[in-house]
Structure formats: structure tokens, C-alpha cells
Amino acid sequence: MNLTIPSAFGNLGEVMRSGVQFASILSLAASALLAAANAQTDCNAGNGVLDTTAPKNMTPAELIQKFSTEENKVRDARSHYAFTQDMLIQTLNDKSAVDGQMHEVSTVSYDDKGKRQENVTFAEQSTLRGVALTADDMDDVRRFMPWILTSDQVPEYNLTYAGQQHVDDLDTYVFHVEPRKQEKNKRYFSGRIWVDNRDFQVVKLCGKSVPEQVQPKKHQPLDIRPTFVGYRQLVDGFWFPAYARVDDTLQFRTESVRLREIVKFTSYKRSGAANAAAKP
């Protein structure tokens, strides 16, 4: 999610992976709170030691093809579900106390053609201090925090195999993800993804949307992207986006601003047309 002038933007969230054991959720949540104390999004919460050995029985290229195919299934299945999107943004003062807040809750669904439909069910008046949300900020919440890396997007990125890592109760493959090139008026994900080694679906990601405008033209606001960490939960056999958080202090020309955000994607429920398409 992005923030533009008059100030910066960051986010906070907690681990919400209801497809995994509840004890593990508490462990990850504790790590998230520790990261919050340092005002820095923690991409490594819940991670074990990274093993850089090559994957067994397949090359990294074959692994990319396999998990991106599974991600296609995640995208298609999710389009047959309705869910709740809960976004909480807070500004914090120099004593780490909340001095402003914005909270919005929406119900999200998709029509027969896969077009997203969003209905705001709760919205409080914003008291955020020194920040302004843009359409791109909301695009981060809708598109990049719950990012699904499908096979049609793979050619746009350099995917570098980093190794294998235990994350929470899962064994995963880790990839660094960077756009091959950045076309004008198009945005991309930059960061890391963790792919479950059994279901071959993304279960965690950490990074930001790019490009940023840290040196904009005269009279244009700064647009600095905060780093977010996102987790998925198991729903009817698919790993669906469930939770994203950022807690960052972003430095601007004359000031720094700390924001936190929690974005939750909950209450997944199949629509009537989904019963035939969803995985048993």
C-alpha cells in the first residue's frame, strides 16, 4: 500500500493463517509484535534457517512452472468466493502512541465474468495525521498484499531460487522476485515469496509494489512504498490470502512518519456458482 505527500505510509498486520495450528499463529503473532516495537516490517518472523541446496527431483525452472500453474488454480477458485476485507490504518507519534486512525470494512465478491465487486459496510471518518491515501494505495490492498503469482505474470519477473526454509509449520521453497523491466504506468511486486513444498502454492510473501517516486518532479508529492508481509490460509484445499501487515517509519524530505496497518481477508464463502468449480 502507498502513501503520498503530505506524509509517508506504512502498515501493520498480524499473522492470521487459520489453515495452520493455532499455537503457531500465536507464535507468529508474538514475532509480529516484536517487529512492531522496532517500527520495521519483519519479513523473517516465523522463518527457520535458509537451506540453499537445490530442490530435489526438479530444476528451479520446473518448480516455477509447477507452482505458477497451481497459482492459476488459486486465482480461479478465489474468484468464486465472497469474503470480508478489513483495513485498519493508524498513525503513531514519537512515543509510539496512536494519534490517528482510518478503519474500513468491505464485502468483496466477483461477478460471472470475474470482475471484482466491493461493497463498503463500515467506514469511520479518518483522523490520520499528515497522510493522504491515493487510488494506488488502495490498489496495493486489493492487488499486491493478496498477490497471486500466476503463469501469465511469470515472464514479467526474474524469479531467483534462494533455497528451502521452514516457515511456521510448513516447509517451503523461497524465491526472490524482481520485475524484468518496468513499463510506464504499470506496477509490479518486488520482494520474496515462500512456496509450500507439498501444495506448490504461495503461503507467504514479503516486499512492496514498485516503482516508487522518491525523487518526483517539482510540485509532485513523494510516493514511498512501505514493505508489507502477507500470509495465506487454507480454504477448501487452496491457500487464499488472509492477512497482511506493515509497521514502518518512512523518511521524507523534512520529516519521518510512522504508520501501521492491518489488512485481513476473512470469512471466505463460496458463491452459488462456485460449488462446481471449487476443489473438494
Is the residue at 280 inside a domain? no
How many CB atoms sit inside 10 A of residue 115's CB? 9
Is the residue at 276 inside a domain? no
Domain range for 203:
3-268
What is the rounded CA–CA span in Å between residue 81 and residue 123? 23
**Strand, coil or helix: 79:** coil
Is the residue at 213 inside a domain? yes
Sheet strand arrangement including 188-196 = 116-123, 98-110, 81-92, 256-270, 238-251, 228-235, 202-210, 188-196, 170-179, 157-167
Is the residue at 74 inside a domain? yes
Is the residue at 251 inside a domain? yes
7, pLDDT greater than 50: no
Task: Report, as an integer, the average pLDDT of 93-121.
Answer: 94
Q: b or e along 159-188 (b: 16 or more beta carbons within 10 Å of the residue's beta carbon)? A: bebbebbebbebebbbbebebeeeeeeebb
Percent of the chain's residues with pLDDT above 90:
62
Q: Domain total for the chain? A: 1
Q: What is the 8-class DSSP label of residue 272?
A: G
pLDDT tens-digit map of 248-270: 877 666 777 788 999 999 999 99
Percent of the chain's residues with pLDDT above 70:
78
User: Which CATH number is 32's domain given?
Assistant: 2.50.20
| 24: its cell numbers | 503457531
pLDDT tens-digit map of 111-155: 998 899 999 999 999 998 877 787 788 889 999 999 999 999 999
Please tell me the least confidently modeled range out of 29-43, 65-79, 257-271.
29-43
pTM as predicted? 0.82
**Strand, coil or helix: 139:** helix
* Pair 193, 202: CB distance under 8 Å: yes
Is the residue at 171 inside a domain? yes
Is the residue at 174 inside a domain? yes
> What residues have CB less than 8 Å from 215, skipping those under 6 apart?
none
pLDDT tens-digit map of 50-68: 999 999 999 999 999 999 9
Question: Which band of pLDDT confidence, cut at 50, 70 and 90, is reported for residue 220?
Answer: low
Q: Letter for the amino acid at 79?
A: S
CA distances from 176 to 61, 145, 163, 273 (A): 13, 16, 10, 36
22, pLDDT greater than 80: no
Instruction: Specify the pLDDT at position 40.
Output: 81
Is the residue at 274 inside a domain? no
What is the rounded CA–CA span in Å between residue 172 and residue 108? 29
> What residues have CB less than 8 Å from 233, skipping those under 6 apart?
16, 17, 18, 19, 20, 239, 240, 242, 243
> What residues have CB less than 8 Å from 87, skipping those under 6 apart?
102, 103, 104, 105, 106, 141, 261, 262, 263
